[in-house]
Structure formats: C-alpha cells, structure tokens
Structure 1
Amino acid sequence: MNIGSVIKKYRKEAGYTQEEMANRLGVTTPAVNKWENGNSKPDIELLSPIARLLHISLDTLLSFQEKLTDFEIGEFIQKMDKMFSEEGYEKTYQWAVNTIKKYPNCNLLIWQIAVMLDSRRIIGECDNPDKYDEQINAWYEIALNDEEEKIQHHAADSLFGFYLRKKDYAMAEKYLRYFSDYDPVKKVKMGQLYMKQGKTEDAYEKLEDVVFSTYTTLNLTFGTMITQALEEKNHEYAKYLAKKMSILANVFDMGKYHECAAMLNVVVAEKDVKGTFQMAKQLLENVDTMGDFRESKLYQHMKFRDTENPYAKEMKKALLEGFRTEEEFSYMNGYEPWDQFIHE
C-alpha cells in the first residue's frame, strides 16, 4: 500500500473530508487529493502531523516502505557489501539494525541482511562472532514467519545451518519441518545432519535416494520434452534430447536398456528402418540390464527389493509382440533383417 492509499484509508476512518484534513494541516485541498491519488507525496515535515491527525503511528503511515522491489533490495545488499570493506563489521552491523528498523516488514531484505552478516562472521571478519547470534537468529525467525514459502525456506535453511555448526542437532532438525518430505533439499539436509551425528550409513542412504530420485525426475522431464518435440515434428531436437537422456542413464548407472530406450521413439517417428532395427535389437538384448542400478556403487547403501529382474523373459516376449503387432512399426514390414528378428 502506498502512502497516498494509507492517508485516504485512515482519513475516511477518522471521518475527515479532504478539505477538513487540508485545513487542519495548513495545506490546500488539491494537495491532499494529489497525495491520495499518488501524484505527489507529503513533505517530510508533514509526516508527523499527518500521523497525529489520523491517530496512527509513523510506521503505519510509512507502510508503503514495507515492501521493496528485488532491485531495491539488491542495491541495499551491494551497499552493505561495500561497507564491510570500507567501514568494517561493527559499523555495517549498526547500519543493518537501522535499515531493518526502517523496513521492518520486508522479510526478504531482513533475511538477506542476516545472511550477509552471518556469512561474514563465519569467515572471520569480526572479533566476537558469538555476540551477534541472538540478533541474527531473531531476524531469521522473523523471515521464517513470512507468508511466502520461498522466504520461509531461506530462513529455515539459514537456521538449520547455524545450529548444525553449533552441533545442536535437535534444533537443526527442528527447522527441517519447514520443508516438504518430498523436497530433495530436505533429504540432502537430513544426510548432512546424519553425517554430523556419525550416522554414516543412514546419511549415505538418504543422499543416494536423492541421486536416484533426481534421475527419475530428469528421466520423466526429458521424456516429456521428447514427446512434445516429436509432436512438433522437430526430430532434430528430439534426437538431441534422446542423446542427453542416454548420457544421463549412463551417468546414473541405470543400465544399457535405459541408455537405449529414448532413441527408439525418435527413430520410429522418423520411420528410420535401419535405426529402428538397431534400437529394437539393442533393447531386446539389454532387457536384463534394467535392474543394473541395484548393483551400482552409486546406490550401495540403498535397500532394493530384488537383486535381479525376475520378469526379464516376460518383458522380452512383450517387446517382441509389440514389434510384431503394433501399427507404429508397420513401416518395418518387408525389411528382411526385421522380419527375421521379430520371428526368432
């Protein structure tokens, strides 16, 4: 809410007309009208009289300052960064206290100022870093109560880091409740917490689960992008994405089958006879590798139900049946290597 809107709101609540308010302040009625329409702002010496007349505090009157743009916040942080170098930690801290008093409701600014002060003391730029604990954490707690989930997460992350450094693991874990159980960031932080507590096996299992889940998400994402690219007849882009998908499967130790699978859709869309034959053959030959990730060192602390794929034979039959009967492979009919392959 800008200052004009604040004046208009509380003027009406106080029962004044614009003319009555103008007379009491010794200004013209058009001046009040311009304030309320946002065409001008009151002179600074009028702020206190306006607040008294409307029976509100200066903080309320100046509530237009509670929200800042990202650009404005960035300017404050740049100024703060420069102050550390030119004036030292303590003077910068005092400037931060005064700035937050001026913008007490801008939680993103409060969090960023707290982070700047926190990080500088961590790297040893102040003589007595512990004396700032209470105030910096109080600022984090303010940001923690913001209505935006993003700012809550930022603040919770900062408090988690603080208590992790202090080896107060119970308090560190408390702030993880602000993250969803489905959020991989929470799992990573749980892994960090377990490491600090000496629960190495639990930590590796939690972190490996993040790696595995990340592949699943990326695989789904790339698959969706490939499908869309093929619908748009953009085969070149689809092929590029399929190659990336193959590399991902290799990096995440998913097995040869997963390295080949994405490209089949591309060659089928292109009706590439030789390419389709090669990809189909590779898939069939590598069905047994679908569970290779279970044997990978990358997931050695995770617990999987099966150590091998008990359905490999059935999957091979299903693949062959699809190659024989699915309409999308009809363009392969008459290609001798294909006919021999699907009828083996």
Structure 2
Amino acid sequence: MKLGEIIREKRKTLSLTQEQLADYLGVSAPAVHKWEKGTTYPDITTLPALARVLRTDLNTLLSFQEELTDEEIARFLEELDRMISQESYDAAFQRAMDQIHQYPTCEKLIYTAIFYLDGARFLHGLPNPDAYTDRLIPFYESMSHSQTPEIRDAALAMCIAYHRNRKDFTRAEELINTIPSTRIDKEEQLATLYTQQEKWEDAQRLWERRILQSATELQTALIHLMEIAEKEGRPQDAQFCADTYQQVSSLLHVTQWIPYTAKFQLASLRQDRAACLSALRHILPVLKEPWTPQTCPLYRHMGDGDLAALAQSLYDRITDDLEHSEEFTFFRGSPEYEQLRPLLREEG
C-alpha cells in the first residue's frame, strides 16, 4: 500500500475530511488531496504530526512493515525474468534493488529475489558474473541471521561458499561451526505421520521430493570424490566415481543429459579430447528436451516439471563456453570438434 493510500484509509477510519486533516496539520486541503492521489508527498517535518493525527506510527505510515503476497512475489520474479531476456541483467538487478528498498522488511521478497539474481547471472551467461558478488553477499549475510530456518540455512550456505571461494578458510570454518550438528528432519517426520494417517498423496509427495534431493546430494558427493581422486593421481578411482555417477543418475531417472556430466567434467580435467566430445554427443541432443518427472513412478506427484526454459539456458551457456571459453581450447579446431559444431547449432 502506498503512502497516499495509507493516509486516505487512516483518515476515513477516523471519519476526518481532507479539510479537517489539513486544519490539524496547518496545510491546505488541496495539499492533502495531492498526498492521497500520490502526486506529491508530505514534507518530512510534517510526518511525525501526520502520524499522530492519524493515530499511527511512522513505520506503518511509510509502510516499512508492508509485506508482499506470494502471488505478488511470483509475478515480480516473472518481471525480472522478462527484463533479463528483453533488456539486460543489470536492468533487472536494479529493478530488484528498487523493489527491495521499497519493501525492506519483506524477507521473502529479499530471499527470493537475491537467490534468483544469483542464479540468473550464471544461467544467462554474463561475461563477468563475479562483478555482482560483492553486491549480493551483504544480503546473504543479513539473511543468515533470519528467524526462518529455510532462509537462514540457505543464506548461511552461500556465505560459507563465498568465503571459501575467496580462500578465507578461517571465516568459512567459523560459519560452518555455527551450523547445529543435529537437527530433527521435519519432512521425514511429516511424511511418516502422513503415512500413518493414510494420507497417501501427501506422504508420497514428500518422499518423492526426498528421492530427488538425495539424487542431487549423491551426485554432488560423487563429483567431489572424482575431482579429489584425479588431483591426487588416482585415475582409476576417479573413473569409478564418474561411472557410479552415471549409474546412480540413470537409476534415479533424472533428466537424460545429467548422467553424462561427470564423464564430461573428468574428461575436461584430463583434457581428453575424444572423451569430452563423446560425452557431448550424449548431452547436447537431449539438453533442451523437457523433463516430465511425473511419468516415472518415483516422481508421480512432482507436477509437470517442464524445464524447457532452463534447458534452453543451459544449452546456450554450454555452447557459448565450448566456442569461446579458454577451458576448451584443447579440442577447439580439431576435426572431431568441427563435426560436432553443427550439432551445437541445432534448433530445439
């Protein structure tokens, strides 16, 4: 609610006319009319008296405590997404900052917008995504003290990653040690309760989410084990981890291209041109295909899950990296790569 709307609402609640409010404040009735229309604003010196006359406080009067609904936040994210596609990431970033300044206590808005902006800078392939890191991290630091566990934990994880990437290992370890070592698993408790109550659909939805979450955790662990083994000079162990990653991903029926990402990453570490291109031949043709998890019994209640837009962004990012990133110069220009290039430009 805007300032003018609050003034009008409070005035009418007290059964005051615009002329009466103006008399109390020593201003003209047209001035009050303009405030309520939103064409002008009260002078800052008038605000304390205005709050007293309307029997409210400055926080309420200036809507510092105002919250956006979930629907309004969802629409705002759609707006940011359109701005990135049609204008620029910087324009969307500034729009988000303006909205946060307008609703500085709406924690869900801040949480949603900041995490979206953070992911979007990589998803949309910004040439220098790290340029925004120092502008994002203060929001994570603030949210790491949130009273909402989900927001606090997610923000804390981002702060830890930030300090770890900057090689400030002391600070990263300090933050890690603030994480409780034991915690009751709310979702597991709810899923068990719903099962005992025979609320089958509610229970299945939670267990299905757990399977997908576990798949992601297993994949992350295997990737790290693979990289460590390779850097320690244990190529057979690294290959075993990459093979296991593929098997686990296929067994848990994730999107078609994900099972091959570990082998592609390992081949990149080894600068193995043939292995890289072999993995890409499996990844690129299906990268833009939508994932419909509900067709699998493991994810029957996960919804449509059409990730076409995400897949398109990932496809664009990978193809751009293959053509321009220094990481892949070891195979760029080879006959095998030239054979693959038409596949990079196929329309999905």
Structure richer in helix, relative to its length:
1
Q: Sort the TM-score into its range (normalised by shorter chain).
A: 0.3 to 0.5
Give the alignment's TM-score, normalised by structure 1.
Answer: 0.43
Give the alignment's TM-score, normalised by structure 2.
Answer: 0.43
